[in-house]
Structures are given as structure tokens and as C-alpha cells.
């Protein structure tokens, strides 16, 4: 099977291409504009990635809206159903590193990865609409759907990083945000109409839309040449310009370039891995258990749908906001603030649920989205600034795989805590874990750089 995305870039006239280095030793390929390479603005690559991510996130952020119907249809327990989300997360996060490695080796072009992901995402959603046994759910949704979503996520984030090296935080935040808030229409529709009778029709329709949107975007995705930099701004000036590039003052470039094997041996990487694991565990706990917690307190499905929609919507919008703030205030500082916010959110949700405060539940969901839901977009910038740009996609994939460990903690272990200590123990534990992640984030420092060196201003 051949993929249109594997075709070469349009031929362009001879251009004076040169490679430059800045004071940090970073390389830039200059002389080719995005329009000369693509025949159109690089903004197309952003919007195509945004559209694909908008459709791909339904399997994660919309799962809680589907889970109650699955338990009603065949008498499966909620623990059995939610286990499929845990396995899905393991597959989705686990594919990020191998996908990045194959891409860097030229063996998996972005179009091929995204079109393959589109087919697997559609299979995952259709499986939820038709499966009559849990093994089928685990295979079709968890494994195939998880791998498909992981391919789309890793590829789209990487595409935006390659085409927007001068505006990475803002653009990655916007694209990864779409992965979260893209599910809001589905969650609201599911809250209003999804039941055992309508399950197949609704999920088949969504699967068809997801397939078309992601595949259409994937066909047109392209990579720029390695180290490509746009015509403007001039890269060496940009690396030092604290007026137009305010991030320079608070986010210092990496001391040197790290390969994935070196990252794995770094103590800082271990700390970052634990932080991502804790953030993922708390977010996945909220996604998996918030709707059942609300239902157990006597609230109707529409309040659960509203809370989940707010959680996903604020997660998406918050990634844009926190990406912007991290450029101005520093990524480590914003990461720590986000983790604290996510921890406070757990206690707000617990108190509001126990006292049946609808407004408090919605507020807690918003805080949870703004906190733990925003950590992934901050991770992209931290990886670049701690370990360099040469292997940034692979290094991101290594650390993003911590989300799989977070699934074991936030879904698997949480099921035991809920069954033995109730929601009080589970939400309290989630809050403590998030705050522990904030403490650890405050201790992060760039590998190879003495802590006593002042930030250049």
C-alpha cells in the first residue's frame, strides 16, 4: 500500500541554502521559505495537524462518556470497562518513541503514520460501538485504537515542532490542546443521546468522521529539511534577542545535545519521567472516575457530561495559555504551578461531590484541566531546553512514555483504592501525588549546567 504523503516535496529552483550555528552551537538551515518548499504557507501544516488532533482525542477524553453505556449493555463491571482505557493509554503512549525513531530514520513519513493512525482510530471507535466481549474491546479499542492515536499524536506534535522552530511552545500548545477540547461536542452529545440502543449508530458515525478528517490531514502532511529555519527571523539574532524572543531570559538552551540513550541515564530525565507519570495518573484518574463519582452522589448524566466537557475544554485552552506563560515566566515555574493547581482541584472535586455542589464540581473540573492536563505541552519545551534539538522527537517520546506508567497508577491502582477506601481516599491520594509532582518540578535543573550560574539577562 502506498501513501500519498510519502511523495517528495515539490521541486524548487536553486536556492542559496546554507547552514548556520548560533552561540549555543545549534544548527539552522536557512535560505528556503515555507512557500518554496510547500507551495503554500507553513500555517497549512499547523492547521492540518490541529484538525487531526481534534479528531484523535475523542478516544481518550470521550471514553468516560461511553463507559456507563458499556456497563449497561452487557453487565460488565466499571472496573473491567475502565481497564480498557488503561491498556489504551499504555499503547498510545508507548508508540511515541518508536514512531519518532522510525521517522528520524526516514522509514515512517508523517503522512504514512497519520493515515495509518486514522484507520486504527476508526477501528477503535467502531469496536466500542459493536463489541460484545471484553477481549474484543481490549484488542480493537485498547490496542489498535491506542496505537493509532499514538501515531497521530506523536506525528502531529513533531510536525509542528519541525515547521515552527521559532514558535514551538505556542504552536505545540495549540495543537495538543485540540487533542483535548476536540471531544467536547461528542461528550455533550453522548450525555444527551448515548444509550444502549443508539450506541452503534452514534459511534459508527463518529468513527467515519474521525477516519475522514485524520486521513485527509495526513495525506497533505510533509516534513521540512532537517534543521530548517524560516526566512524570518534571523536565527542567530533570535537566539539572543530578549525583546522579541522573551523566552531566552527564562528558558536557557541546552548545554549540549543528548541522544536518547544519554537521556535515559540522566537523573534529571528520571525526575521528569516521574513528574509526567504523576501528572498523567491524576488526569487519567479524573477522566476515568469523575463521571461515576458524580453519578454516585445522585447527580444526573448531564452534570457529569458538563464536568467532563469543562475538564477537556479547559485542558485544551489551558495548554495554549500555559505555553504562552512559560515563554515569559519559565517552563519549570509554570509546570510547578500547574501541578499544584491539579492537586488543589482534587480536593475541590471531593468536597463538592460530597456536598453535592454542582458549581464546585464544574470549578474543580476546570482546575483539574488547567493543572494536570496541561503538563504534556510544557514537556515539549523542557525536553528541547534540557536535552537539545538534535533528537528532540525521540527524547520527547522517551519521556512521554511515562504516561503509560501513569495509567497503571491512575487507573489500575486507583480502582483498588476506590474499592477499599472509597472516593475519599482516591481523591485525597490523587491530590497528594500531584502536589508531590510540584515539589519535584521545583527541583529540576538543566543537566550539565551548574546551578550557581546566573541566567543571562
**Residue pLDDT, tens place only, 370-427:** 998 888 888 888 999 999 988 999 999 999 999 999 998 988 888 888 878 888 889 9
**Bond preceding residue 25 cis, omega within 30 of 0:** no
Beta bridge mates, 30: 18
Q: Write the CB contacts of 20 (distance below 8 Å, at least 6 apart in sequence).
A: 27, 28, 30, 229, 235, 236
Quote the pLDDT of residue 392.
92
Torsion angles phi and psi, residue 220, rounded to 5: -100, -5
Q: Structurally, how many domains does the chain consist of?
A: 1
Report the C-alpha gap between 369 and 277 in whole angstroms. 16
DSSP state of 228: B
Whether residue 200 is predicted with pLDDT greater than 80 in this model: the reply is: yes
Confidence (pLDDT) at 441 = 93
Within-domain flag for 104? yes
**Gap between the Cα atoms of 435 and 385, Å rounded:** 24
User: Model's pTM, two decimal places?
Assistant: 0.90
Nearest CA to 128 out of 217, 62, 189, 225 is that of 62
Of 390, 14, 457, 31, the closest CA to residue 235 belongs to 31
**For 19, phi and psi rounded to 5 degrees?**
-110, 130
pLDDT at 453: 43
pLDDT band at 3 (very low <50, low <70, confident <90, very high): very low
- Within-domain flag for 14: no
pLDDT bracket for residue 85 (50, 70, 90) = very high
Is residue 147 included in any domain, yes or no? yes
Residues pairing with 19 in the sheet: 29
Decide if 18 is inside a domain: no
Percentage above 70 pLDDT, the chain: 94
Q: CA dist 60 to 37, 64, 193, 308, Å? A: 35, 8, 19, 12
CA atoms of 155 and 106, how far apart (whole Å): 13
User: Taking 70 as the threshold, does the pLDDT of residue 175 lie above it?
Assistant: yes
Compute the distance between CA of residue 131 and CA of residue 144 in angstroms, rounded to an integer.
14
Q: Range with the lowest mean pLDDT among 201-205, 253-257, 273-277, 300-304?
A: 300-304
CATH of residue 333's domain is 1.20.1250.20
Query: What is the C-alpha to C-alpha distance for residues 401 and 263, in angstroms, rounded to an integer?
Result: 13
**DSSP code per residue over 337-355:** HHHHHHHHHHHHHHHHHHT
**Phi, then psi, of 446 in degrees rounded to 5:** -65, 135
Place of cell 501513569: 406
Q: Is position 447 within any domain?
A: no
The rounded distance, in Å, linking the Cα atoms of 140 and 161 is 31
DSSP 62: T
* Mean pLDDT, all residues of the chain: 88
Q: Residue 192 and residue 176: Cα distance in Å, rounded?
A: 27
- Tell whether the model's pLDDT for residue 456 goes beyond 70: no
Could you tell me the residue range of the domain that residue 212 belongs to? Answer: 30-441
Amino acid at each position: 500500500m502506498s501513501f500519498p504523503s510519502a511523495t517528495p516535496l515539490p521541486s524548487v529552483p536553486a536556492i542559496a541554502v546554507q547552514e548556520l550555528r548560533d552561540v549555543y552551537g545549534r544548527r539552522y538551515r536557512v535560505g528556503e521559505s515555507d512557500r518554496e518548499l510547500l507551495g503554500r504557507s507553513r500555517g497549512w501544516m499547523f492547521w492540518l495537524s490541529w484538525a487531526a488532533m481534534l479528531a484523535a482525542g475523542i478516544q481518550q477524553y470521550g471514553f468516560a462518556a461511553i463507559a456507563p453505556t458499556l456497563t449497561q449493555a452487557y453487565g460488565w463491571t466499571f472496573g473491567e470497562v475502565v481497564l480498557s482505557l488503561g491498556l489504551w493509554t499504555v499503547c498510545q503512549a508507548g508508540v511515541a518513541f518508536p514512531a519518532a525513531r522510525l521517522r528520524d530514520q526516514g522509514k515512517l513519513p508523517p503522512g504514512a503514520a497519520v493515515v495509518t493512525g486514522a484507520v486504527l482510530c476508526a477501528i477503535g471507535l467502531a469496536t466500542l460501538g459493536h463489541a460484545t466481549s471484553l477481549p474484543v474491546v481490549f484488542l480493537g479499542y485498547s490496542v489498535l485504537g491506542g496505537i493509532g492515536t499514538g501515531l497521530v499524536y506523536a506525528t502531529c506534535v513533531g510536525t509542528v515542532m519541525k515547521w515552527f522552530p521559532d514558535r514551538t511552545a505556542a504552536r505545540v500548545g495549540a495543537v495538543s490542546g485540540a487533542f483535548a477540547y476536540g471531544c467536547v461536542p461528542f461528550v455533550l452529545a453522548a450525555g444527551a443521546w448515548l444509550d444502549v440502543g443508539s450506541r452503534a449508530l452514534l459511534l459508527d458515525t463518529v468513527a467515519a468522521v474521525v477516519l475522514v478528517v485524520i486521513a485527509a490531514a495526513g495525506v497533505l502532511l510533509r516534513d521540512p529539511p532537517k534543521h530548517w529555519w524560516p526566512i524570518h527571523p534571523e536565527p542567530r539574532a533570535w537566539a539572543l534577542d530578549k525583546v522579541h524572543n522573551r523566552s531566552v531570559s527564562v528558558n536557557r538552551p541546552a548545554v549540549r545535545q543528548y541522544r536518547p540513550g544519554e537521556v535515559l541515564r540522566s537523573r534529571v530525565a528520571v525526575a521528569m519521567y516521574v513528574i509526567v507519570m504523576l501528572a498523567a495518573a491524576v488526569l487519567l484518574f479524573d477522566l476515568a472516575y469523575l463521571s461515576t463519582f458524580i453519578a454516585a452522589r445522585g447527580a444526573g448524566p448531564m452534570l457529569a457530561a458538563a464536568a467532563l466537557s469543562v475538564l477537556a475544554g479547559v485542558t485544551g485552552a489551558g495548554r495554549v495559555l500555559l505555553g504562552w506563560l512559560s515563554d515569559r515566566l519559565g517552563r519549570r515555574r509554570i509546570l510547578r504551578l500547574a501541578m499544584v493547581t491539579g492537586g488543589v482541584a482534587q480536593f475541590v472535586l471531593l468536597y463538592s461531590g460530597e456536598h453535592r455542589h454542582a458549581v464546585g464540581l464544574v470549578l474543580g473540573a476546570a482546575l483539574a484541566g488547567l493543572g494536570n492536563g496541561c503538563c504534556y505541552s510544557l514537556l515539549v519545551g523542557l525536553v528541547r531546553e534540557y536535552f537539545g534539538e538534535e533528537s528532540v522527537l525521540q527524547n520527547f517520546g522517551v519521556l512521554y512514555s511515562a504516561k503509560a506508567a501513569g495509567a497503571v497508577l491512575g487507573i489500575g491502582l486507583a480502582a483498588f483504592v476506590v474499592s477499599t477506601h472509597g472516593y475519599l481516599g482516591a481523591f485525597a491520594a490523587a491530590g497528594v501525588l500531584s502536589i508531590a509532582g510540584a515539589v519535584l518540578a521545583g527541583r529540576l535543573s538543566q543537566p550539565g549546567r551548574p546551578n550557581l550560574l546566573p541566567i543571562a539577562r
